[in-house]
Amino acid sequence: MAPRSSSETNKAVSPSKAIIAGGISGGIEILITYPTEYVKTQLQLSKNNFTGPLNCVSRTVKEKGFFGLYRGLSPLLYFSIPKAAVRFTSYEFFKGQFQKGENRPLTNLEATLAGFGAGIMEAVFAVTPMENVKVKFIHDQVLSEKPRYRGFFHGMKVILSENGIAGIYKGLFPTILKQSTNQAIRFFVYNNITNSLKGEDKNRKLTMVEIFFSGVLAGAASVFGNTPIDVVKTRMQGLETHKYKNSLDCALKIWRNEGFFAFYKGTTPRLGRVCLDVGLVFTIYEQINRLLDKVW
């Protein structure tokens, strides 16, 4: 078996444990944080429909009810488990390649590269299809009083019948760019903070509070680092993607027509969602790994 390692300590952890811990943590996280993802996507898709996050929430609840904030949840829920599983399994794999069986923490460069590789893997195998369906579901609700998509499987059937497999891989390049930079930033920051907290004892188990806030700070850094990429990706995956020739054309049109700050639309709800997301995922992931270590 290939060298393996935990994101919390330097001990070996099997890929099977990474898949289970990553999948469970991803599913729990998305159920808690989805409304902020919904609001972020609405703000990025609309030009002047909402005055801000609170206006978006109040109008959605008034017009669609509370569960309107969960429109588009199903694709994220279905894909969040494999997404988190792919992310952590890939990270553990790349981390093991750098360590080559040595019981040592990663350097900052190694943590960044391992995160970058994990982001590419999750973008290709989970995030791009997931984001395409999610964005189309939400955009469908914005553009039509009677949404076309009646549910996840019906929506997938319509998208595939009209656009083929390319329909769920729209915006692949900006998604790869987004996810790779996301994870590179997050694992770099998380690696730095957790190593600092451990001090001289690199095998010390961090408390849940330490893990959570390390994840929160890592998530915040990734939001400020790549929200412009996220905006372009969202536009390329919406129902009006025909307006753009490619991702570069999309970015140029946003710049010309809406200005620089349009690239930071949805930053506030994304910040809330991602900070909570990353904090929860890292915390749950580490706790499940500890539990698995006792029974496996």
- Compute the distance between CA of residue 230 and CA of residue 240 in angstroms, rounded to an integer: 16
Going by pLDDT thresholds of 50, 70 and 90, the confidence category of residue 288 is very high
Q: Does residue 200 sit within a domain?
A: yes
Q: Does residue 153 sit within a domain?
A: yes
Domain count, the chain: 1
Give the DSSP per-residue string, 97-124: HHHTT---PPPHHHHHHHHHHHHHHHII
Whether the pLDDT of residue 93 is over 60: the answer is yes
Which tokens in the block code for residue 70? 């969960």
CATH (domain of 172):
1.50.40.10
Q: Does residue 8 sit within a domain?
A: no
Whether the pLDDT of residue 4 is over 70: the answer is no
**Per-residue pLDDT, 150:** 78
**Per-residue pLDDT, 139:** 78
Residue 142: give the domain boundaries.
15-295
What pLDDT, in 10s, does the model give residues 158-172? 888 988 888 888 888
Q: Does residue 188 sit within a domain?
A: yes
Mean pLDDT along residues 264-280 = 88
What pLDDT, in 10s, does the model give residues 22-76? 889 988 888 888 888 888 888 877 766 788 889 999 999 998 899 889 887 877 7
Give the DSSP per-residue string, 24-71: HHHHHHHHHHHHHHHHHHHHHH-SSS-SSHHHHHHHHHHHH-GGGGGT
- Side chain identity, residue 195: N
- Side chain identity, residue 32: I
**Per-residue pLDDT, 117:** 96
Q: Does residue 193 sit within a domain?
A: yes
Mean pLDDT in the chain?
A: 86
Contact 70, 35 (CB under 8 A): yes
* Nearest Cα residue to 183 out of 81, 263, 112, 107: 112
Q: Environment class of residue 46 by beta-carbon count within 10 Å: exposed (0-12), middle (13-18) or buried (19+)?
A: middle
Q: Does residue 243 sit within a domain?
A: yes
**Per-residue pLDDT, 8:** 54
Going by pLDDT thresholds of 50, 70 and 90, the confidence category of residue 18 is confident
Whether the pLDDT of residue 202 is over 90: the answer is no
Q: Does residue 64 sit within a domain?
A: yes
Whole-model pTM: value is 0.75
